[in-house]
Amino acid sequence: MGVYLNPGNDEFYNAATNSKIYVDMTEMISFTNSVLCGEHKNVCVSRPRRFGKSMTANMLVAYYSKGCNSEKLFAKYKIANDSGYKKHLNKYNVIHINMIDFMSRTDSISNMIDYMTKRILWELKKEYPDVECFDWNDIVDVLETIYCEKRQPFIIIIDEWDCIFRKYPDDYEEQKKYLDFLRFFIKGKTYVAMAYMTGILPIKKYGEHSALNMFDEYSMTNQRELAKFTGFTEEEVQQLCIQYEMPYEKMKQWYDGYDLKGVQIYNPRSVVMSLLGHDFDSYWTKTETYEALKRYIQLDMYNLKELVTRLIAGESVSVNTDKFQNDMTTLESADDVLTLLVHLGYLTYDFYKHIVWIPNQEVQKEFINCIEDGGWEPVVHAIKSSDELLKATLDGDEEKVEEIIEKVHQENISLLKYNDENSLSCVISLAYYAAKKDYVVYRELAGGKGFADIVFIPRKKVNKPAIIVELKWDKTAETAIQQIKSKNYIESLKDYRGKVVIVGISYENNAAAENNYKKHHCKIEVVEM
């Protein structure tokens, strides 16, 4: 066994065996087995930090690598039940490269490529001393010669493939040189049984320059067949919650929400940390991705403040992901920034509706941390006053509700169009931010003879009444209350039984109203289901 050539199974064995919590993802090997030596043998998987990328890479190394026997290791996992399990087990030469290892030892991309190739060639020469190559300094020539003489194909596994784009974000010539090297190394090579790359970002685009167009990509905008292996599934988290005696609903509230074409995925690291610590908190590591989030949402370019405000309020935002250049610097629109945040794990993306939203409470907390200064004071004030607003609503204090909502609405005029019912809805969602702790919040929820504007349904084991809010402008709050009753919006609550607080909120949009211009009104009633 070598360090980079056929490194064996130690890394995966230690992680799977010695970790306090290990969720079996070995069925993914069935997928990689299905693409070996075929048209789709080049696979690039991008996921956010702490979503198990390196663990997966080490699993593939352990399964395919010659020089070790992994049958006993995998025998207890799901892949052992696959019909093709033994056919490919420890049958391939594996070259395993973690680009961060090489990048940290050199001062440029060119030097990194040079050092990496020399290191791998050294191991190849030790393993195949009897092979005569035309040029032992040319890694492609060496691999082609070995394959021709020994008929032994290689599996190339590259972890953190995109780290150079984060360390050298503006060095476009060197980036292009790196992509061209990977193309030269992998594309059209008979010695490659499979190339598997993983990182945070999808493959970098350079206009018409498509150096790595031979790769099938599996990213956070479309994980395709690999969706269920991207993080923990609902079933897996439910089982873990039973095992560790943790409340599943709260786990879902904090760490669920990544929608991958209908497959719901949880952040695996955060779930594990929560289970081990028996608490709920944000476990995002403050790395360059956090700094990127902070930098981008502080910008008021491309109307970002309005969009981020809507996201924090719980809304979804339309996005076009197609023009994103797959780096952290070439950002030419709000769509580019939002797409980047999807790949970093701060937003989730609906493939069919082309919308993004904040997936869960953990990420919501990170957004709030990022806006606590730098021109976001109105939004921060709305959030901080939301506890008081919720209490006033439940207490039936109409004047206090009017006062708080009016202030929040006025303070956020610069971010949101004032005279717009959708904008008012966003303001209300923002103003009731604190309710998310105890309530599941729905907008435009179907019920009775129409759609209730905003509905708050208490979470399990929360002893609070449900809330239905109807919004009106240039009409009375009483009209809003009457609409809730006449259209029977209470039916939207379905299986809920108990008290329901119905709230009508309106404001005057007519400047002719003089004293009442932009005045907010509130009417609150309580009904029993």
- What pLDDT digit, counting tens, does each position of 234-288 carry? 999 999 999 999 999 999 999 999 999 989 999 999 999 999 999 999 988 666 6
Tell me how far apart the alpha carbons of residues 222 and 183 are, in angstroms, rounded to a whole number: 23
* Cα 395 from Cα 501, distance rounded (Å): 10
Q: CA-to-CA distance for 362 and 281, rounded, in angstroms?
A: 7
Domain topology for 10-218: Rossmann fold (3.40.50)
Q: Which amino acid is at 306?
A: E
Residue 182 exposed, middle or buried by CB count within 10 Å (0-12, 13-18, 19+): buried
| Sign of the four-CA dihedral 118, 124, 126, 128 | negative
- Segment 154-189, tens digit of pLDDT: 999 999 999 998 888 888 888 889 999 999 999 999
Structure confidence by residue, pLDDT tens digits, 113-149: 999 999 999 999 999 999 998 999 999 999 999 999 9
- Please give the average per-residue pLDDT across 301-318, as a whole number: 87
Which of 274-288, 385-399, 507-521 is the least confident region?
A: 507-521
Nearest C-alpha neighbor of 355 from the set 329, 370, 335, 371: 335
Instruction: Give the highest mean pLDDT range of 276-280, 423-427, 503-507.
Output: 276-280
Domain layout of the chain by residue ranges: 10-218, 231-357, 377-528
| C-alpha distances in Å from residue 495, one per residue of 176, 314, 411, 498 | 58, 24, 38, 10
| Average predicted confidence (pLDDT) for the chain | 90
As a whole number of angstroms, the distance between CA 335 and CA 352 comes to: 16
Residue tagged 């007519």 (tokens): 510
CB 452 within 8 A of CB 483: no
CA angle in degrees (0–180, nearest 5) for 281-282-287 = 155
Reported as half-sphere exposure (CB side, CA atoms, 13 A), residue 104 has a value of: 5
The four Cα atoms 321, 322, 326, 332 give a dihedral, to 10 degrees, of -80
369 has pLDDT over 80: yes
Banded pLDDT at 511 (limits 50, 70, 90): very low
d(CA 105, CA 115): 9
Predicted TM-score of the model (pTM): 0.91
Confidence of residue 374 (pLDDT cuts 50, 70, 90): low
466 touches 455 (CB < 8 A): yes
**Secondary structure letter of residue 209 according to DSSP:** B
Torsion angle (degrees, nearest 10) of CA 312, 318, 321, 327: -30
> What is each CA distance from 399 to 320, 454, 477, 523, 524, in whole angstroms?
42, 20, 12, 9, 10
Determine the straight-line distance between the first and last CA of the chain, rounded to whole angstroms: 69
pLDDT of amino acid 447? 83
Q: What CA–CA distance (Å, rounded) separates 256 from 139?
A: 44
Q: Is the pLDDT of residue 110 over 60?
A: yes
Work out whether strand 192-199 and strand 154-159 pair parallel, antiparallel, or are unpaired: parallel
Contact of 413 with 457, CB cutoff 8 Å: no
pLDDT band of residue 354 (cuts 50, 70, 90) is: very high
From residue 381, alpha-carbon distances to 200, 265, 431, 490, 522 in Å are 34, 32, 9, 31, 21
How is residue 152 written in tokens?
Answer: 């032994």
Of 62-71, 281-290, 298-307, 363-372, the range with the highest mean pLDDT is: 62-71
Decide if pLDDT at 309 tops 70: yes
**Is residue 513 pLDDT above 60, yes or no?**
no
Nearest-angstrom CA–CA distance, 323 and 338 = 12
Confidence of residue 512 (pLDDT cuts 50, 70, 90): very low
Place of tokens 């008979």: 190
